[in-house]
Amino acid sequence: MKRWSEELECFAQAIISGQGVPDNLASHYGHYDLTTAMAIYRNNYRGNLHDALAGAYPVVLQLVGDEFFRLMTYHFINQTPSHSGNLHHYGAAMAAFIADFAPAAGLPYLADVATLEWGCHSAYFAEESPAFDLEKLAQVAAEKHADLRLVVNPAATLLHSKYPVADLWRAHQPNSNHDFQIDISSGGCIALVVRVQSVVDVCELSAAQSDWLLQLSDGTPLGSASEATLARYPQFDLTATLLELVAKNVLTTFTLGA
Amino acid sequence: MTLPATPALPCTAGIGLRAVHYHELLQQLPAIGWLEVHSENFFGGGAALNTLRRVREHYPISLHGVGLGLASPPPLDQRHLAALKKLCDEIEPAAVSEHLCWNSADGRVINDLLPFPYTQAALTHVAERVEQVQALLGRQLLIENLSSYLSFNQSEMGEAEFLATLSRRTGCGILFDVNNLFVNQCNLGVDALAFIKTLPADAVAEYHLAGATKHNGCWVDTHSTAVSNEVWALYEIALQQMGPRPTLIEWDNDIPELALLLNEATKAQQQMGRFNETLV
């Protein structure tokens, strides 16, 4: 006789694979057969994952339409098991999947849109972050400024794309002007997902700002990060960028010392 | 185990609050006794949690979990538990509930509410989990009976007996979903009257009412329609046998206008009210 956990593993396998019927189940029911019952569990399994993906990727869904989105999620679900009881965690690997999904090859920007949307989805559910304390920063002696480490919000997602995906994303938001006249070959963008007072938004950074922010994310002290960015981008406005990223809760706090 | 007293749900009708109704509810603040939300939708921080904080200023809240998978063979997900604990500490809910089900095996999760064989071994396993969650939250958990489309040959007892014993062992409460019993009565031939008589009335702390739909001869717990006459009739029997309890109208798919949900809640309130009067 199988162990209890093995009984459930057989049941799980039959649901996920879509094949077979476990032998530990009653085979006869009043008004239907076991195959019907198993089909309901299989549909629930796939349907719940599909709905989670549709919830996390509304712009991808609008761009490809319901039928194509179902085709994509069908294959995605086949190769991507869920690992969390919280459905909001499902679908992180969608962008990587889309990049390799041959039927979507004609939409080369789609994977980047998915990256942006997962950033938005994650930011929506992210833990609350502290607001950067500018007054406390002002109390730091000037000679120590170079050694400051600015902490980047882990919920912020930075994306360098060859396509204008930030414009694409904005045009497909519920309250946008729906200006779909976007020339997909008009050039790339540097998109940054932010959450300001619980509202998730996508903004764009200059190459200099992104260069600086990436160094801060790696833990580079303020002095060397700023010097390196200014050497590459002499027009870089350090103060304005600092204030903008503080206002957008991208920078949340700072540390001083090793 | 002894659990501290926690604020209880009022013995009135409540509705399930879903995202499509957040704005309207906060604008209108309708007269409804309490609201139930799915816990997982408020894990983390941000807009959803902000909304729940505002709702909590006006209504008692019941946190209803759908993702813990209490009966799953692997250990409970500590990240999930920590998020639930944090949410409970902040919202101070009047009830916290989960389902008598499992959702993960062998490293994979099936995001559904799955049935399992009701055995002594399962009882020991689930009781340990319930105690673990109650100890962490410092409060009683309500466990809901499941709607099911199949049954296991190895079951050594019925679901009601399983729940009754679980409650006796762990001190957990029972969330009696009347629609789930209706579904199991139709699908699996469960004796509904015997089920209700087996549940310990003292432990039943909440009722759920919802609508199911029929697919290829099998009733599926879709929460997508109004409460059926059969479920209202079973609710009447539950009221007779066990008395009034906080009663939720649950509607998760093809969600109707808020006014219609409130109307269903009024029906439940009226049906419950007749029993409140007879108790006086």
For residues B275 and B11, the model is more confident at B11
Q: pLDDT for A19-75, tens place per residue?
A: 888 888 888 888 999 999 999 999 999 999 999 999 999 999 999 999 999 999 999
List the structure tokens of B163. 């729940």
Q: Stretch A97-110: mean pLDDT, rounded?
A: 98
A125: three-class secondary structure by DSSP: helix
Confidence at A176, pLDDT banded by 50, 70, 90: confident
Decide if B151 and A26 are in contact by the 8 Å CB cutoff: yes
Query: What residue type is assigned to position A90 of the chain?
Result: Y
Alpha carbons B47 and B27: distance in angstroms, whole number: 16
Confidence of residue B280 (pLDDT cuts 50, 70, 90): very low
Residue B128 has pLDDT above 80, yes or no: yes
Label residue A180 by pLDDT band (50, 70, 90).
confident
| Cα A31 from Cα A152, distance rounded (Å) | 59
Residue A109 has pLDDT above 80, yes or no: yes
pLDDT for position B183: 96
Name the residue facing A12 among B105, B153, B218 (closest C-beta): B105
pLDDT band per the 50, 70, 90 thresholds, residue A181 = confident
Q: Give which of A81, A68, A70, A71 is closest to A17, Cα–Cα.
A: A81
CB B212 within 8 A of CB B225: yes
Mean pLDDT of chain A: 94
Chain B: nearest CA to A78, how far in angstroms? 13
Distance CA A110, CA A108 (A): 6
Identify whether the C-beta of residue B112 lies closer than 8 Å to the C-beta of residue B169.
no
Residue B67 to residue A82, Cβ atoms within 8 A: no
Residue to test with chain A: of B111, B119, B128, B151, most A Cβ within 10 A: B111
Contacts of A13 in chain B (CB under 8 A): 106
- For B209-251, what is each residue's pLDDT tens digit? 999 999 999 999 999 999 999 999 999 999 999 999 999 999 9
pLDDT at B134: 98
Burial string for B43-61 (b: 16+ CB within 10 Å, else e) reads bbbbbbbebbeebbeebbb
CA A167 to CA A183: how far, in whole Å? 10
- The DSSP secondary-structure symbol of A107 reads -
Q: pTM of the entire structure? A: 0.94
Are residues B150 and A81, on separate chains, in Cβ contact within 8 Å? Answer: no
In this complex, do A32 and B83 lie within 8 Å of one another by their Cβ atoms? no
Each residue of B147-187: pLDDT tens digit? Answer: 999 999 999 999 999 999 999 999 999 999 999 999 999 99
What ipTM describes this predicted complex? 0.93
Is the CB of A8 less than 8 angstroms away from the CB of B105? yes
* Residue range B96-115, pLDDT digits in tens: 999 999 999 988 999 999 99
Residue B143 pLDDT > 90: yes
Angle value at C-alpha A193, between A187 and A195, nearest 5 degrees: 150
Contacts of A28 in chain B (CB under 8 A): none
The whole-number average pLDDT for the span B247-264 is 95
CA distance B244 to chain A (A): 32
Q: Across chain B, what does the average pLDDT equal?
A: 94
| Res. A129: pLDDT tops 70 | yes
Q: What is the pLDDT of residue B85?
A: 98
A82 at B interface, C-beta within 8 A: yes
Average pLDDT over residues A156-179: 92
